[in-house]
Structure 1
Amino acid sequence: MTVGVALNPLTPANQIDASVELAKEAAAAGLRSAWFGQTFGADSPQLAAIVGREVPGLHVGTSAIPVFGRHPLIVSSQAQTAQAATHGRYHLGLALGTKLLTEGGFGLPFERPVARLREFLTALRQLTETGNADFHGELLTAATPIPARVPGAESGVPVLVAAMGPKALRASGELADGILPYLAGPRALAEHIVPAVTKAAEAAGRPAPRIVALVHGVVTDDVDAVRATATENLAFYEQVPSYARVIELSGAQRASDVAVIGNEETVAAEVQRYRDAGASEVVFAGTEMAGDADRRRTWKLLGELAG
């Protein structure tokens, strides 16, 4: 089983330099992949390309680019460039995004997100697999009067979706290589998410999807204080309907209830629960929330589990 981490340097003087150093530390700890979020700051595919180039052998991924405010032609160019830079170690994550950031940031109506996801995936797969596209949908057009292939990226780009709802899972099973659920506990994963996306992939004649479970957690002895920090940090997600639903399906009331916080034995047992629930890969996020000492302690354990 692959185990990775999401990298989030705290108050760096230079985010790129700090990310490279953290990635080197993650690789030295035995972790297999490093993932980067996408908001309005650093460009995640570009950051992943730089890190993957600087840290040979480490897989790098974006988790995840919202499909609103982006275009498949641009995202394909970014993803193929990152894939060529890392010689096949880049993984592209897409997301529906949220109403708050879509309408507040881009001034776009957050309407028909799953329909947009379907069209985005359809056009993107044409581009990454062939270097050409001739897609004309209701919401998107992607056509290539000149080729859009990046030499060195001929192997294609694995495409994952941060899908958790039934319609998004169906689209992901039919059109993507896997999913990146976040704040979905083992119960939600086993009873709702994995069966839905697997059924959709089977119906579409596609291979079994990758299930990359993003888990918010850290190894620490100060469980109460760290969980209080997690409660504050994750409160935003409780206002997003898709996250609120999956938190409830996990048998939790707050987002922080799904966070994995405890000693090595506790965290190792929870990683095994995710694996038993159907996760093919586990990526820990938020490992920096208790400070560097506990982050390193967490990465040591996760590296051992990856090995």
Structure 2
Amino acid sequence: MTTLACIIRPSVPPARVVSLARAVEAAGIDEIWLWEDCFQTGGISAATAILAATEHVRVGLGVMPTPLRNVAPMAMEVATVEGMFPGRLIPGIGHGVQPWMAQVGARAASPLTLMREYATTLRALLAGERVTTSGRYVRLDDVALDWPPARAVPVPVAATGPKSLRLAGQVGDGVVLEGSVGLSGLPGALEHVAEGRAVAGREDEPFPVVQFVTGGTGPDVVERLRAELTTWGQDVSDDERLATHAIWGDAQQIADGVRRFAEAGADTVAVQPAADDPDLERLAGVLGEARELLGAG
């Protein structure tokens, strides 16, 4: 069954995050995904608060920028949260938005090199290995976690361009695709991922595909979604084009939209509300109804 997730955007005030997460869990949704955008809600802190306030919902971080954190404290944070809430954290990593990385003095000259070194080292540390490495960006001397996770923690990698997608296939435990990929771009993106997996000899390993999709419900939803996607540079001038980048309507319509993305290769469809969505709790409820329809189908 395809996983239907709900995204809590970092523009949601911190004081609302926990109550909204509880509403998402109460609706029966299995996963919540968070962004970590500069300079809004912190990913690890928000995820930990959500996990402490809920009982079973999984929380994905989509994604934490690798330039912002040394890989050793990143591993420490992930291992600590995993130890407190086993099996409920999905710690995704990515290049980060390059202008933001430059703004904080952390932009890497070669994001691909950084990702290769970082993902490889993070996975090793989380696996309980003792690591010594001297790369271009990642340098550790005899580092091992005192409290490594008791289970393997998958680390998905976010990617957009062909080189990043191939790298995600090589060094990630899954891929996170942002909304710009869309329904029409999903099969091609997964071809690049498959090329990377083949190079690394990882074709037989589990490799979940998480696709972010803008979505909503309510009487004015089409206008809201079209306005937002237009500001992101998407051509959504008619409903057919809008449907390649968005899911909207009642529970049945949203379930049908999720199925389209699943048929194109997505294992998890994470619905991200528009920035001006007037009722996030209502959206969570409709997503919960759609999940039931997906399970029945």
Name the TM tier (shorter chain): 0.7 to 0.9
Aligned to 1:115, which of 93, 113, 116?
Answer: 113
Q: Which residue of 1 aligns with 2:253?
A: 266
1:150 partnered with 2:138: no
Residues 175 and 31 of structure 1: CA distance in aligned 2, closer, same or farther (over 3 Å): same
Q: Which residue of 2 aligns with 1:298?
A: 286
Q: Which residue of 1 aligns with 2:74?
A: 75
Counterparts of residues 1-307 of structure 1 (less than 5 Å) = 1-8=2-9, 12=13, 15=14, 17-39=15-37, 40-104=39-103, 106-145=104-143, 147-150=144-147, 153-183=149-179, 184-190=181-187, 192-206=188-202, 207-231=205-229, 235=231, 237-238=232-233, 258-286=245-273, 289-292=276-279, 294-305=282-293, 307=295
Residues 231 and 205 of structure 1: CA distance in aligned 2, closer, same or farther (over 3 Å): closer
Residues 275 and 48 of structure 1: CA distance in aligned 2, closer, same or farther (over 3 Å): same
Identical aligned pairs, as a percentage? Answer: 25
**Cα distance in 1, alignment partners of residues 45 and 225 from structure 2:** 33
**Cα distance in 1, alignment partners of residues 90 and 12 from structure 2:** 26
Identify which range, 1-10 or 223-232, moves more after superposition: 223-232
Q: What code does the residue aligned with 2:145 have? A: A
**Cα distance in 2, alignment partners of residues 11 and 164 from structure 1:** 25
**Cα distance in 2, alignment partners of residues 298 and 199 from structure 1:** 37
Residues 137 and 11 of structure 1: CA distance in aligned 2, closer, same or farther (over 3 Å): closer
Q: Secondary structure at the match of 2:137?
A: coil
Residues 41 and 143 of structure 1: CA distance in aligned 2, closer, same or farther (over 3 Å): farther
Name structure 1 gaps, 5 residues minimum: 239-246
**Cα distance in 1, alignment partners of residues 228 and 89 from structure 2:** 29
On the 8 A contact 1:288/1:295 being kept in 2, the answer is: no
**Cα distance in 2, alignment partners of residues 150 and 74 from structure 1:** 12
Residues 11 and 172 of structure 1: CA distance in aligned 2, closer, same or farther (over 3 Å): closer
Distance apart, 1:305 and its partner CA = 4.2
Distance apart, 1:9 and its partner CA = 7.5
**Cα distance in 2, alignment partners of residues 88 and 263 from structure 1:** 31
What is the root-mean-square deviation of aligned Cα atoms in Å? Answer: 2.7
Residues 301 and 283 of structure 1: CA distance in aligned 2, closer, same or farther (over 3 Å): same
Q: Secondary structure at the match of 1:269?
A: helix
**Cα distance in 1, alignment partners of residues 79 and 247 from structure 2:** 34
Equivalent residues, number:
286
Identify which range, 208-217 or 38-47, moves more after superposition: 38-47
**Cα distance in 2, alignment partners of residues 11 and 113 from structure 1:** 29
Report Cα offsets for 1:139-191 as digits up to 9, x if no partner: 2212345x32425x22132111111211111111111110110112122111x
Q: Secondary structure at the match of 1:63?
A: strand
**Cα distance in 2, alignment partners of residues 126 and 24 from structure 1:** 33
On the 8 A contact 1:178/1:209 being kept in 2, the answer is: yes
Residues 115 and 44 of structure 1: CA distance in aligned 2, closer, same or farther (over 3 Å): same
Q: Which residue of 2 aligns with 1:242?
A: none
On the 8 A contact 2:216/2:225 being kept in 1, the answer is: no
**Cα distance in 2, alignment partners of residues 98 and 209 from structure 1:** 24
The two structures have a TM-score, normalised by structure 2, of 0.86
**Cα distance in 2, alignment partners of residues 55 and 48 from structure 1:** 11
Q: What code does the residue aligned with 2:186 have? A: L
On the 8 A contact 1:20/1:54 being kept in 2, the answer is: yes
**Cα distance in 2, alignment partners of residues 29 and 42 from structure 1:** 23
Distance apart, 1:133 and its partner CA = 1.6
On the 8 A contact 2:6/2:284 being kept in 1, the answer is: no
Q: Secondary structure at the match of 2:90?
A: strand
Q: Secondary structure at the match of 2:215?
A: strand
Report Cα offsets for 1:42-83 as digits up to 9, x if no partner: 321232122113211111111111111221112111111111
Name structure 2 gaps, 5 residues minimum: none
Distance apart, 1:20 and its partner CA = 2.0
The two structures have a TM-score, normalised by structure 1, of 0.83
Q: What code does the residue aligned with 1:267 have? A: I
